[in-house]
Amino acid sequence: MVMVRTLQIKDHGLPLHLTLYESSPQAPVAIFIHGMTAHAGFYSDMIPGANYLQALAGAGLNVVALDLQGHGRSGGARGRFTYAEAIRNIRRAVDFALETYHDRIGITGSSMGGILAFYAALEDPRIRAAVCHNVLDLRDIRPVLYLRRHFILVPLARATRPLQPILGELPIPVRAFLEPSHVFEKPENRHRWLRDPHCVWAYRLKAWVSVFLEPSDKPPVEAMTKPVRLLVGEHDRILPADMHRAFAARLRGRSDLIVVPGAGHMLPLEYLETTVPLVAEWFHEHLHA
C-alpha cells in the first residue's frame, strides 16, 4: 500500500516542500524534480486518473518529490532561483532521503527537471543512478536555441552580464520561449496546465541566464559515471529526439536512450503507462540491496 505525506525541509532557512509517496522502507528511493513552470502536485493532481508519482511508488519506489525554491509550495519569490540554488535544493532532498530511508538513492525528473536531475547526479556522489526525461548540455545550449531560432539570446545574455545587478530581477514570460501546444498534445490538458494556480509563468532574467546561459559552473556531460537512462518522445518538439541521440553518444558510462514511439513531450502524464516501467526498472536494476 502506498503511503502519501507532505512535509517541509529547510535550505538556508528557506522552506522546501516535499511530497512523499512511500512504497516500503527498503524500496529504492527516487527523488523527483519537476519541469519548468511546474511543481510536484502538477504530476499527481492536475489530470484526473493520471497520478505519475503514485504510479512510480506503485511500481516499488519510495518517491521524494521536491518543489524547487520559487516554485509550487516551496518558499522564495516565484521564478527566482539559480542553477547553484537548484542543485543545493536537491542536495537537501538527498540529505532527507539518507536520514529517512537508506543510501540506495536515484534521481529522476521531467523536462527542465530531467536536465537538473542529470546535473545533480553529476555533482552529488550520493546519487547512485538517474533516469532523465529530457537532457541538455547546459554548457552549450546553442543547438536548441538555433532550432528555436533564438539566435540572439547567447550574445544578448553575454551583453547583459554587466547589467545583472540592475536587470537580474526582470521577469521574462515563459511563453516567450515555450509554446503550450508543444508541451501537451491534448487541448484539455493544456487548459488545465494554464489554469494551475501553483505554476510559474515568468522567470527572472537572472534565473534564465544562470541555468541556461552560464556555462562556467556546470561540469562536462562526459564526466557522468553513474548509470543513466535518457527518455524522450519521438515527436518531442521542445527537446527533440535527435538532440538526445547526439547527447547519449557522448556518455562514457553505463547508459541507454529510449525514444518512445509516437510520443510528444509530456511523457509522465500523457504516456504514463509507458513511462513508469521505464523509470522503475532502471532503478530496481541499479539500486538493488
Q: Model confidence over 9-63: pLDDT tens digits?
A: 999 999 999 999 999 999 999 999 999 999 999 999 999 999 999 999 999 999 9
User: Could you tell me which residues come within 8 angstroms of residue 162 by beta carbon, excluding any fewer than 6 positions away?
Assistant: none
Q: Model confidence over 59-105: pLDDT tens digits?
A: 999 999 999 999 999 999 999 999 999 999 999 999 999 999 999 99
Q: What's the CA gap between 51 and 47, in Å, rounded?
A: 8
Q: Model confidence over 234-264: pLDDT tens digits?
A: 999 999 999 999 999 999 999 999 999 999 9
Q: How confident is the model at residue 149 (pLDDT cuts 50, 70, 90)?
A: very low
- CB contact at 8 A, 94 and 88: no
Percent of the chain residues past pLDDT 70, beyond the cut = 93
**Is the predicted pLDDT of residue 143 greater than 90, yes or no?**
no
Residues in the chain: 289
Mean predicted confidence (pLDDT) in 112-119: 99
Domain boundaries, the chain: 3-286
- CB contact at 8 A, 40 and 16: no
Q: Provide the whole-model pTM.
A: 0.95
CB atoms under 10 Å from CB of 38, counted, come to 25
pLDDT for the residue numbered 201: 97
**Is the predicted pLDDT of residue 180 greater than 80, yes or no?**
yes
- CB contact at 8 A, 37 and 112: no
Question: In this structure, which CATH number among 3.40.50.1820, 3.40.640.10, 3.40.50.11260, 3.40.50.2000 belongs to the domain 3-286?
Answer: 3.40.50.1820
